[in-house]
C-alpha cells in the first residue's frame, strides 16, 4: 500500500440490520450524511440533492465522449487530440449505486475520511460490483485519513471547524477520527493496509508545513 501526505451521490443504502457487523457503522455514517444532505434545498443553484447520481452519470458520458475524440455539441472540432487516454476516475459513496458506478465507469474507489472498519464494507462492495461487471483486474482502492503529529487538539479543532457546515454530528465524528500522534498514525496505516487499501492519503490538519516531514518520519 502506498501512503501519501498531502463526489458521492445520494442513493438507497442496504438496511443496516442485514449488514455484516463490521460494516454497520458504515451505514450509520451514511444515514448521518443523508440527514445532512436532506436539509439542503439546493446542491447548486436550481438543482437539489435528488437526481445527483443521474446527473453525474450524464456528465461521465460527456467526459468519455470527449476522450473518444467526439466533437461536443456547440464545438467545431474535438477537444482532445487523437489517441488521448481517458483520465482515470475514482468515485466515492457508500451505496450500491456508487459501487456500480465504479465498476461501470471508474478505475477505482475513494473512501470518506472515516476509520478503516467503517469503510471496509464499501471496499468489499466495490470489489463485488467490479467482479459482477466482468471487469479485469481489481479496482484501485484509496483511503483518506486526517492526522496530526505536533498539535493534536489543534488539528482536531481545525477539522471540526472545516466540517461545521455539515452539522455538529458530522463535524464531531470526523474530528474525533483524526489520527493523533505517531502510534495512532501507525495503527491507522496498518488498519487500512489490512482491509486492502492500495493507497492511503494522509491529510494534515494544520498549515504547519513541517507536519509533512513529521508524518514521513513516522510512516516511511
74 versus 110: which is more confidently predicted?
A: 110
pLDDT at 10 over 60: no
Distance (Å) of CA 57 to CA 60, 97, 99, 138: 5, 11, 13, 22
pLDDT of residue 28: 58
Query: What pTM, to 2 d.p., does this model score?
Result: 0.78
- Say how far apart CA 113 and CA 33 lie, in whole Å: 13
pLDDT of residue 73: 87
- Say how far apart CA 161 and CA 172 lie, in whole Å: 9
Percent of the residues in the chain that have a pLDDT greater than 90, as a whole number: 60
- Quickly state the pLDDT bin for 16 (edges 50, 70, 90): very low
Mean model confidence pLDDT for the chain: 85
> How much is the average pLDDT of 150-154?
96
- Three-state SS string across the chain, please? CEEEECCCCCCCCCCHHHCCHHHHHHHHHHHHHHHHHHCCCCCECCECCCCHHHHHHHHHHHHHHHHCCCCCCCCCCCCCCCCCCCCCCEECCCCHHHHHHHHHHCCEEECCCCCHHHHHHHHHHHHHHHHHCCCCCCCEEEEEEEEECCCHHHHHHHHHHHCHHHCHHHHHHHHHCCEECHHHHHHHHHHHHHCCCCEEEEEECCCCCHHHHHHHHHHC
Backbone angles phi, psi at 137, to 5 degrees: 65, -150
76 versus 137: which is more confidently predicted?
A: 137
- Say how far apart CA 174 and CA 32 lie, in whole Å: 12
pLDDT of residue 17: 39
pLDDT of residue 161: 97
- Quickly state the pLDDT bin for 166 (edges 50, 70, 90): confident
pLDDT tens, 18-70?
344 444 555 555 555 555 555 556 666 777 667 788 889 999 999 899 988 88
151 versus 170: which is more confidently predicted?
A: 151
Q: Which CATH number fits domain 2-13+20-43+88-219: 3.20.20.30, 3.40.350.10, 1.10.357.10, 3.20.20.140?
A: 3.20.20.30
- Say how far apart CA 109 and CA 107 lie, in whole Å: 7
**Structural domain spans, the chain:** 2-13+20-43+88-219
Burial class (CB in 10 A: 0-12, 13-18, 19+), 181: middle
Amino acid at each position: 500500500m502506498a501512503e501519501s501526505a498531502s463526489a458521492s451521490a445520494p442513493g438507497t443504502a442496504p438496511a443496516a440490520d442485514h449488514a455484516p457487523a463490521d460494516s454497520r457503522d458504515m451505514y450509520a455514517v451514511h444515514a448521518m450524511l443523508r440527514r445532512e444532505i436532506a436539509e439542503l434545498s439546493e446542491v447548486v443553484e436550481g438543482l437539489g440533492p435528488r437526481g445527483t447520481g443521474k446527473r453525474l452519470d450524464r456528465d461521465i458520458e460527456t467526459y468519455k465522449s470527449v476522450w473518444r475524440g467526439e466533437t461536443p455539441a456547440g464545438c467545431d472540432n474535438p477537444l482532445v487530440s487523437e489517441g488521448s487516454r481517458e483520465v482515470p476516475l475514482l468515485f466515492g459513496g457508500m451505496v450500491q449505486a456508487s459501487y456500480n458506478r465504479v465498476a461501470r465507469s471508474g478505475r477505482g474507489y475513494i473512501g470518506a475520511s472515516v476509520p478503516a472498519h467503517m469503510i471496509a464494507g464499501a471496499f468489499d462492495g466495490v470489489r463485488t460490483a467490479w467482479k459482477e461487471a466482468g471487469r479485469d483486474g481489481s479496482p484501485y482502492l484509496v483511503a483518506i485519513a486526517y492526522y496530526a503529529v505536533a498539535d493534536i487538539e489543534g488539528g482536531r479543532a481545525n477539522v471540526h471547524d472545516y466540517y461545521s457546515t455539515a452539522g455538529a454530528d458530522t463535524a464531531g465524528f470526523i474530528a474525533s477520527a483524526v489520527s493523533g500522534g505517531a502510534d495512532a498514525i501507525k495503527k491507522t496505516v496498518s488498519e487500512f493496509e489490512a482491509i486492502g487499501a492500495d493507497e492511503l492519503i494522509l491529510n494534515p490538519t494544520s498549515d504547519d508545513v513541517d507536519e509533512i516531514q513529521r508524518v514521513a518520519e513516522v510512516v516511511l
